[in-house]
Structure 1
Amino acid sequence: MLDTLTFLLEKLFLLAHVKLSSLPLKRRRERDETPPQQPATVSPGAPLKFHRGDLLEVPRTLFTHFGIYLGDDRVAHLIPDILPALTSPDSRRVQEMVTNTRLLLGVICKRASIRVDSVEDFAYGAERILLNAMDRAVSASCRVSPLSAEEVARRAERQVGAVAYSLMWNNCEHFVTFCRYGAAISLQTDAFCEWLKSLIRDKRNIVLTALVGLLSMSCVGPSCYTVLPTLLVPFTLWMAS
């Protein structure tokens, strides 16, 4: 069961990632052409060039993870985690690295923690870390500028602890944008919502859902469980398109 949920969650992240790569050219250029102020690579023994209050961004296969650098090789970041809801916050087990099982259960149960880890643990094997790469894109889309570095770090430190989690509305990107820009936004969520809107607007999906409904009726037989979805889903898509 857990493997199935992991597979479905990865597919959801993949859809959001694919949609992000297909953003309009102008918006993609705003993100992709934004040069990091101080490009950094996480590698053993490499000197760190981060400063307190910097926004760290780790590109991963299916999504991007974000954190706020606090100085002294410490990064505050929001990560789904079921364990803080099951044990005391000062438990040593909570401070251990979040495993995939803990992360998945945290997503399902909508529980997370804003925690402080080393840069290496935050990067979680990534070969590169983007530094303040969101500044230009957020400034262009939301007309806001980064707060002072000390204010950014203090905002992050004040929020450390267990928090509620939402994959779409309260994730790691919302946390760092609130700390750095004073507004909790997520470009990844915006991109995924745009993909959903384009999916709903596509009239071909109306025909597809109607055919799937008719096929289920022919296989299972007419009943309220097959007739109602067959009628309501295509009708809802038609009205929303």
Structure 2
Amino acid sequence: MLDTLTFLLEKLFLLAHIKLSSLLPPPARERGDPPPASRQQQQQQPPPHSFQRGDLLEVPRTLFTHFGIYLGENRVAHLIPDILPALTSDARHIQEMVTNTRLLLGVLSKRASVRVDSVEDFAYGAGILLNAMDRAVRPSPLPGEEVARRAERLLGSVSYSLLWNNCEHFVTHCRYGSAQSLQTDKFCEWLKSLIRDRRNVLLTALLGVLSMACLGVSSGTALPALFIPFTLWMAS
């Protein structure tokens, strides 16, 4: 059951990611900005000794981008969904690598932890982008030492929200003094465009009719068939 749920969630996020990529134009470059780096250049991982305490590190995942704050000595603080801190106080067990099952249960239970891992474990084989968000977020970054100390003060178990308190909110709070998530903003814009498209009203109405034809007319089929298209119509 858990494997099936993991598969369905991954497919849902993948569809949303593909849709976002097709709807949103690439960010405009300001005059005098250097051209975007190639994929090969972006995937080149800087050696840990080139990082400074308080740097913002980000690594691309299949469905999203993961963020962390460099603390020095090859250590990265990052917020990651994890159910285990809510179930045990065994620090040695908690510090083990977070598995997909632990991560998924953390998302569903809205539990997470701000933990410290090595640069290699944080990157998990992906290339690291260094302070790439500085050009897209205002205000300007805080001093590196203050950024690192803010991250260290938040270490431990925290509540989690996929949209309102994720790893990007953590690093922007630490580095810029204001928690925000560009990924959440893009997702909300995609969701609004989906709701505003009146073709989706017809699609949901058709699906509702088909569900009643296949499953029979009952409160469990008739109410969603009427309520969902009506809600989308009023919101469009």
What residue number does 1:77 align with?
78
Residue 22 of structure 1 deviates from its aligned partner by 3.3
The alpha-carbon distance between structure 1 residues 29 and 54, as it changes in their structure 2 partners (threshold 3 A), is same
**How big is each residue's C-alpha offset from its partner over 1:46-98, in whole Å with a ceiling of 9 and x where there is no partner?**
5531000000000122110000000000000000111100001x521001111
What residue number does 1:63 align with?
64
RMSD of Structure 2 on Structure 1 (CA): 2.2
Cα pair 1:34 1:133 within 8 Å, conserved: no
The alpha-carbon distance between structure 1 residues 152 and 102, as it changes in their structure 2 partners (threshold 3 A), is same
The alpha-carbon distance between structure 1 residues 152 and 12, as it changes in their structure 2 partners (threshold 3 A), is farther
Instruction: Determine helix, strand or coil for the equivalent of 1:22.
Output: helix
Residue 11 of structure 1 deviates from its aligned partner by 2.1
Cα pair 1:210 1:230 within 8 Å, conserved: yes
**How big is each residue's C-alpha offset from its partner over 1:19-52, in whole Å with a ceiling of 9 and x where there is no partner?**
442354363658x9677xxx78448xx5531000
- Which has the larger displacement, 149-158 or 213-222? 213-222
Cα pair 1:20 1:188 within 8 Å, conserved: no
The normalised TM-score by structure 2 is 0.90
Choose from 225, 228, 231 the match for 1:236: 231
Runs of 5+ consecutive residues of structure 1 not aligned to the other structure? none
Could you list the structure 1 runs, at least 4 aligned residues long, displaced by more than 4 angstroms after superposition.
Answer: 32-35
Choose from 159, 162, 166 the match for 1:164: 159
* Percentage identity across paired residues of the two chains: 76
**How big is each residue's C-alpha offset from its partner over 1:95-133, in whole Å with a ceiling of 9 and x where there is no partner?**
11111111111111111100001000100121x100000
What residue number does 1:86 align with?
87
Cα distance in 2 between the residues matched to 1:116 and 1:10: 26
Instruction: Determine helix, strand or coil for the equivalent of 1:96.
Output: coil
Cα pair 2:23 2:190 within 8 Å, conserved: no
Letter of the 1:160 counterpart: L
The alpha-carbon distance between structure 1 residues 132 and 23, as it changes in their structure 2 partners (threshold 3 A), is farther
Cα distance in 1 between the residues matched to 2:200 and 2:174: 40
- How many residue pairs get matched? 230
The normalised TM-score by structure 1 is 0.89
Cα pair 1:19 1:191 within 8 Å, conserved: no
Runs of 5+ consecutive residues of structure 2 not aligned to the other structure? none
Letter of the 1:97 counterpart: M
Q: Does 1:208 align with 2:203?
A: yes
Cα distance in 2 between the residues matched to 1:22 and 1:47: 35
What residue number does 1:132 align with?
131
1:1-241 equivalent positions in 2, closer than 5 A: 1-22=1-22, 24-25=24-25, 27=27, 29=29, 41-42=44-45, 46=47, 48-88=49-89, 90-126=90-126, 128-139=127-138, 144-241=139-236
Greater relative contact order (Cα < 8 A, sep 6+) = 1
The alpha-carbon distance between structure 1 residues 209 and 193, as it changes in their structure 2 partners (threshold 3 A), is same
The alpha-carbon distance between structure 1 residues 23 and 223, as it changes in their structure 2 partners (threshold 3 A), is closer
Cα distance in 2 between the residues matched to 1:40 and 1:215: 47
Letter of the 1:198 counterpart: S
Cα pair 1:174 1:185 within 8 Å, conserved: yes
